[in-house]
Chain A
Amino acid sequence: MYQYDAFDHAFVRDRNAEFADQVARRLSGEITEDQFKPLRLMNGLYLQLHAYMLRIAVPYGVLSSKQVRKLAHIARTYDRDFGHFTTRQNLQFNWIKLADAPKILEELAEVEMHALQTSGNCIRNTTTDQFAGAAKDEHEDPRPWAELIRQWSSNHPEFTFLPRKFKIAITGADRDRAAVRVHDIGLHARPEGFDVYVGGGLGRTPSLGHRIKTGLKGENLLSYLEAALRVYNRYGRRDNIYKARIKILVAALGPDEYARQVEAEWATLDKSRIDAPVVEIDRIRSFFPAPAWKTGFDAAAFERAKTADPGFARWLRNNTLAHRQDNHLSVTVSLKPVGAPPGDASSAQMDLLADVADAYAYGELRVSHEQNIILPHVAKDDLYALYSRLDAAGLGTANGGKITDMIACPGLDYCSLANARSIPLAQDISRRFEDAQLTDKIGDLSIKISGCINACGHHHVGHIGILGVDKQGVEFYQILLGGRADENAALGVITGKGLSAEAVPDAIERVVQLYLNLRKDESERFIDALERLGREAFAEALHEPA
């Protein structure tokens, strides 16, 4: 993975010193809370319902075992012994004291981490495919490009006070696991250059990104982004926080006109001053070599383990992905055990994840936007030992991509914006589908839950989306059907009437049962059947038969 040099270290050190000074000035009253807010947000510090929340950046979701141990240490020392992995591939600590924040940032800097630009109206952490560098269908590793963007966007003098937050996602595989079409800018690396999508997003005004450019050369990526951001910074709306994302500007201008303005701006820029030269791109690339692959594969022993331990066989089926090395697989460690908050990990679990990463996965881990931990490279010969250790620590849940592998935002239990609880509902649903055989029979199905219209739980792109709303002081939930965040991205549509929290698990059970009755065969996934039959075919099942 990328290693800081003296310049990178100096930057983070200077940034932390600046923030420590800002915290001191806030505590002395030299800056007001109103003035402090954007400064602390740019350093990842939110004031939540009960305490400060510190959001740590995990650049493009890549972590070393050493970093994970540091996160475990911080959870143990400064928080309540756990952390929460987010849909932005980051990690949040929910119970932080303001006075501890500079000290935590110092500790993070020791392992080349920070909380920069994880919040605020600036360019946020660039997200990517959690299987980067491992997946069989990848033709361009997105991580070096994400690192290039991380550096360019760090403390960018022109783009630190944007109309609103700005999220870039990048993929380099055929299958889009980075959801690039629901980001402010989505980049899809192809052999002939980048496809650039703009104006995607969820929130109050969900929309899919428009492709405004193809064949953008990597050597010009930064100057093109600079032009795209400048047009947004100058003309994005600032009169209404809910109309300030770039998707609103792109919709108002039309994608063609926005693209034309970007091209015109791009033509004025001195690209040689903005674009990092090939030698720098190559330098960054050199930090992402393939590991020294373990060789060999004892197929007979592997088969014996599968036969002897059906739990292992099931976990293999659900939680692994084909790897570019035939004797390896990528592993999803589910942070969605039945009845627990999605994405949470205790410090003991984080330590264990670091240990197994060292023992079996070349010391490398990833955070997925589905809020799971990925071990991207595991030799097949090591899988059973890995599974046994994970399972013993409560991390062997075999539900990758299945109905209980839900995304849920923190919801009303933590968040000051939420209208409704998300985590307890996710827990209720996961208990309803606890049965392993039923889960496997249902197959791939994504449920995504947001506690309010801001859509942090990505409900628009869940095959089944659940949106919490407040109806005269009572929590209600609207159900959306048909969303997906992959290369065939689509937005789900609200179907049927709002439901009480108690009614939601029953409604989902009826919809799923109907799918099982109507599907052509086991290979027809829920989303395929839904698209074949139409949403209306499922609408009635949402409600109790009269």
Chain B
Amino acid sequence: MSRPNSSYEPQLVNRAGETLTGDEIETLDFDRAVEELDGLNGSYAVAIQPGQDVRALLPFIDHIARFDIAFPGYRDGRGYSSARILREAGFTGAIRAVGDVLRDQLFYMLRCGFDEFLIKDAAPPEAIRAAAQRYATTYQSAADAAAPVWALRHRIPA
């Protein structure tokens, strides 16, 4: 028997599968970000819990270098919508998935615009690479560059 992946300490990796070290940037919670970001200088990370509306932060997006979107349980899918909304609004900074992040979610997270993962797994870099290569075909457009099947069928440029 192997040991469950969820028993490993979380490790931080990017979408290329490279291990990232800790960062110095200050993290605000959502309420503080909404109240104070307008008057702050510099660049911050903002922690988003499920149910918090990332659109409330769009006016201050220039002060935000990174969103840490929480998955308190991996069946909670609200974070996927949060990430897509941020990418659709033009946010180009980092979006990090934190919490109950396991390898079977990575494909969906990559497609929804996440690019950093605090993941519990025996081999995080391999998990990321496997997720990125899992599907040759995607039926929908999302936040990544993959063209939907209909565009490929009819050779419609993205």
Interface residues, chain A, with chain B CB atoms under 8 Å away: 5, 7-8, 10-11, 14-15, 17-18, 22, 25, 28-32, 35, 38-39, 121, 151-152, 154-163, 230, 233-234, 238, 268-270, 273-274, 276-277, 279-280, 283
Residues of B within 8 A of A157 (CB): 80, 107-109, 111-112, 138, 140, 142
Indicate if the CB atoms of B6 and A158 lie closer than 8 Å: no
Closest A residue by C-beta to B113: A157
- Minimum CB–CB distance from B74 to chain A (whole Å) comes to 7
Known: A273-B141, A274-B141. A158 touches B112 (CB 8 A): yes
For A28, A154, A270, A276, the residue with the greatest tally of chain B CB atoms inside 10 Å of its CB is A276
Known: A22-B104, A28-B1, A31-B4. A268 touches B81 (CB 8 A): no
Q: A161-B74, A234-B53, A238-B78 are in contact. List 12 more A-B contacts (CB 8 A).
A: A7-B149, A31-B6, A151-B150, A155-B135, A157-B112, A161-B77, A161-B108, A163-B77, A230-B81, A233-B77, A279-B154, A280-B150
Known: A14-B136, A35-B74, A157-B80. A277 touches B141 (CB 8 A): no
**A-B pairs with lowest CB-CB distance, top 9:** A161-B77, A157-B111, A29-B1, A280-B150, A11-B137, A157-B108, A273-B141, A276-B150, A30-B2
Within 8 A of A (CB), among B49-99: 50, 53, 74-78, 80-82, 84-85, 88
Give Cα A238–Cα B107 distance, bound, in whole angstroms. Answer: 23
Give Cα A411–Cα B74 distance, bound, in whole angstroms. Answer: 31
Residues of A within 8 A of B140 (CB): 152, 156-157, 274
Residues of B within 8 A of A230 (CB): 81, 84
Residues of B within 8 A of A30 (CB): 2-5, 122
Residues of A within 8 A of B139 (CB): 11, 151-152, 154-156
Give Cα A159–Cα B139 distance, bound, in whole angstroms. Answer: 13
Indicate if the CB atoms of B4 and A32 lie closer than 8 Å: yes
Indicate if the CB atoms of B104 and A39 lie closer than 8 Å: yes
Residues of A within 8 A of B122 (CB): 30
Which DSSP category, helix, strand, loop or mixed, fits chain B's interface?
Answer: loop
Indicate if the CB atoms of A14 and B153 lie closer than 8 Å: no
Residues of A within 8 A of B3 (CB): 29-30
Indicate if the CB atoms of B77 and A159 lie closer than 8 Å: yes
- Annotate B125-158 by CB proximity to A: 1 below 8 A, 0 otherwise: 0000000001111111110000011101110101
Give Cα A10–Cα B88 distance, bound, in whole angstroms. Answer: 28
Give Cα A276–Cα B120 distance, bound, in whole angstroms. Answer: 37
Closest A residue by C-beta to B141: A273
Number of interface residues of B (CB under 8 A): 45
Q: List 8 A-B contacts (CB under 8 A).
A: A7-B149, A10-B137, A35-B4, A158-B80, A160-B80, A234-B53, A270-B88, A273-B148
Give Cα A201–Cα B3 distance, bound, in whole angstroms. Answer: 41
Residues of A within 8 A of B5 (CB): 30-31
- Minimum CB–CB distance from B141 to chain A (whole Å) comes to 4
Closest B residue by C-beta to A274: B141
Residues of A within 8 A of B112 (CB): 157-158
Give Cα A276–Cα B1 distance, bound, in whole angstroms. Answer: 46
Give Cα A31–Cα B141 distance, bound, in whole angstroms. Answer: 30
Closest B residue by C-beta to A18: B134
Known: A29-B3, A30-B2. A283 touches B88 (CB 8 A): no
- Minimum CB–CB distance from B101 to chain A (whole Å) comes to 12
B34 at the binding interface (Cβ < 8 Å): no
Give Cα A405–Cα B1 distance, bound, in whole angstroms. Answer: 50
B102 at the binding interface (Cβ < 8 Å): yes
Indicate if the CB atoms of A161 and B4 lie closer than 8 Å: no
Indicate if the CB atoms of B137 and A38 lie closer than 8 Å: no
Residues of B within 8 A of A15 (CB): 135
Residues of A within 8 A of B107 (CB): 157
Residues of B within 8 A of A10 (CB): 136-137
Indicate if the CB atoms of A233 and B81 lie closer than 8 Å: yes
Indicate if the CB atoms of A162 and B88 lie closer than 8 Å: no
Closest A residue by C-beta to B83: A158
- Minimum CB–CB distance from A244 to chain B (whole Å) comes to 11
Known: A10-B137, A152-B140, A230-B81. A238 touches B76 (CB 8 A): yes
Indicate if the CB atoms of A28 and B2 lie closer than 8 Å: yes
Give Cα A270–Cα B142 distance, bound, in whole angstroms. Answer: 10
Closest B residue by C-beta to A270: B88
Residues of B within 8 A of A154 (CB): 139
Give Cα A35–Cα B78 distance, bound, in whole angstroms. Answer: 18
Give Cα A161–Cα B109 distance, bound, in whole angstroms. Answer: 11
Indicate if the CB atoms of B4 and A121 lie closer than 8 Å: no
Residues of A within 8 A of B154 (CB): 277, 279-280, 283
Closest B residue by C-beta to A5: B153
Residues of A within 8 A of B138 (CB): 155, 157
Residues of B within 8 A of A270 (CB): 88
Indicate if the CB atoms of A29 and B4 lie closer than 8 Å: yes
- Minimum CB–CB distance from A243 to chain B (whole Å) comes to 15
Closest B residue by C-beta to A37: B75
Indicate if the CB atoms of A32 and B136 lie closer than 8 Å: no
Indicate if the CB atoms of A283 and B153 lie closer than 8 Å: yes
Indicate if the CB atoms of A160 and B77 lie closer than 8 Å: yes
Residues of B within 8 A of A159 (CB): 77, 80
Which one, B2, B75, B88, B111, contacts A161 given CB within 8 A? B75
Give Cα A160–Cα B5 distance, bound, in whole angstroms. Answer: 21
Residues of B within 8 A of A161 (CB): 74-77, 80, 105, 108
Give Cα A155–Cα B139 distance, bound, in whole angstroms. Answer: 8
Which one, B81, B137, B149, contacts A234 given CB within 8 A? B81
- Minimum CB–CB distance from A284 to chain B (whole Å) comes to 9
Indicate if the CB atoms of A151 and B149 lie closer than 8 Å: yes
Give Cα A157–Cα B80 distance, bound, in whole angstroms. Answer: 8
Residues of A within 8 A of B156 (CB): 277
Give Cα A283–Cα B74 distance, bound, in whole angstroms. Answer: 37
Residues of A within 8 A of B108 (CB): 157-158, 160-161
- Minimum CB–CB distance from B66 to chain A (whole Å) comes to 21
Give Cα A292–Cα B158 distance, bound, in whole angstroms. Answer: 39
Residues of A within 8 A of B137 (CB): 7-8, 10-11, 14
Residues of B within 8 A of A156 (CB): 139-140
Residues of B within 8 A of A38 (CB): 74-75
